[in-house]
Amino acid sequence: MEFVMMQETSPPSFSELYSAYAAGQLDPGFSLLLETQSMLRSDVRGALAVSETISGIMFETATPVAMSAGAGARALDLIDALEREEDLPARSAPSDAELAELPEPLRDAAFEAFDLAGWQGTAPGIRRMKLDVKSELEVELYRIQPNARVPRHSHGGTEFTLVVAGGFTDETGSYGPGDLAVKGPDDTHQPVGDAGEVCFALAVRDAGLKFTGVMGMIQRVLGR
């Protein structure tokens, strides 16, 4: 069973996320977020390593159970399949060269999304791509040009936004690479791209955005 948020007004603590990740029970959207953040921040890498160590100790001390018939052979087949994938030639560079600068594993997910549908315009200077990582959550990559404004909005649930490059500022402060902004249903804000560098941000949310103003009127008319 995958780890999901129990209540939209009570997001999971980061210790819960780390533990679920180490146990292999975290939703793929959150896994992508944590893995990407760990590439940007040493403290997150350390927290994940501790969680994985604890999970390993618990696994080693657990009472053994009998394997199902043929389980060993199936495991070896999976290992062989992974090794064959590693032997494949590296994929060619994407036509959107900016994606090549993203950290793993976000880079691969962005490549696939770009090949499938590419960037979608949201507002002047704002583009987004939906990432298909087999998640039950909404997972999107945003590209925010310097000084561009994301339309003001609130949230239907809880949203985790990780700054991957550049930065943005909203009513609650400024966020740079590795920073995580957590917003809930009571939060309304308007992120603005910081001057000097394009901002890339990874958003994971359990419900859609609710726009205000003209964008909100359009959203209501379209029934989204």
- 4: domain CATH number? 2.60.120.10
Q: For the residues 57-68, what does the mean pLDDT come to? A: 54
Q: What is the mean pLDDT of the chain?
A: 78
Q: Which of 73-82, 120-129, 162-171, 191-200 has the lowest average pLDDT?
A: 73-82
Band (pLDDT 50/70/90 cuts) for residue 45 is confident
Band (pLDDT 50/70/90 cuts) for residue 37 is very high
Phi, psi (rounded to 5 degrees) for 194: -70, 155
**According to the model, what pLDDT value does residue 174 have?**
95
Cα 200–145–165 angle (5° rounding)?
25
Question: What is d(CA 31, CA 136) in angstroms, rounded to the nearest whole number?
Answer: 12
- Whether the predicted pLDDT of 199 surpasses 90: yes
Question: What is d(CA 209, CA 159) in angstroms, rounded to the nearest whole number?
Answer: 9
Find where tokens 């402060």 sit: 173
**According to the model, what pLDDT value does residue 17 have?**
78
**116-132, pLDDT tens digit by residue?**
999 999 889 999 999 99
209 with 150: CB under 8 angstroms?
no
**According to the model, what pLDDT value does residue 93 have?**
42
Q: For the residues 196-204, what does the mean pLDDT come to? A: 95
| Radius of gyration, alpha carbons of the chain | 20
Question: What is d(CA 23, CA 18) in angstroms, rounded to the nearest whole number?
Answer: 9
**According to the model, what pLDDT value does residue 191 have?**
94
- Whether the predicted pLDDT of 30 surpasses 90: yes
**According to the model, what pLDDT value does residue 222 have?**
42
- Whether the predicted pLDDT of 5 surpasses 80: no
DSSP secondary structure letters along 29-67: HHHHHHHHHHHH-HHHHHHHHHHHHHHHHHHHHSPP-PP
Question: What is d(CA 214, CA 224) in angstroms, rounded to the nearest whole number?
Answer: 14
DSSP secondary structure letters along 119-168: -EEEETTEEEEE--SS-SSEEEEEEE-TT-BPPPEEESS-EEEEEEES-E
Domain count across the chain: 1
**According to the model, what pLDDT value does residue 220 have?**
39
**118-151: b (≥16 Cβ within 10 Å) or e:** ebeebeebbbbbebebebebbbbbbbbebebbbb
- Whether the predicted pLDDT of 213 surpasses 70: no
**According to the model, what pLDDT value does residue 166 have?**
97
105 with 32: CB under 8 angstroms?
yes
**According to the model, what pLDDT value does residue 194 have?**
97
Find where tokens 């950290």 sit: 103
Q: For the residues 24-50, what does the mean pLDDT come to? A: 88
Q: Which of 38-42, 54-58, 146-150 has the lowest average pLDDT?
A: 54-58
**11-22, pLDDT tens digit by residue?**
456 677 777 887
Q: For the residues 215-219, what does the mean pLDDT come to? A: 40
Domain that holds residue 162: 1-224
Q: What separation in angstroms does the CA of 37 have from each of 30, 32, 47, 66, 160?
A: 10, 8, 11, 37, 12
Q: For the residues 73-101, what does the mean pLDDT come to? A: 60
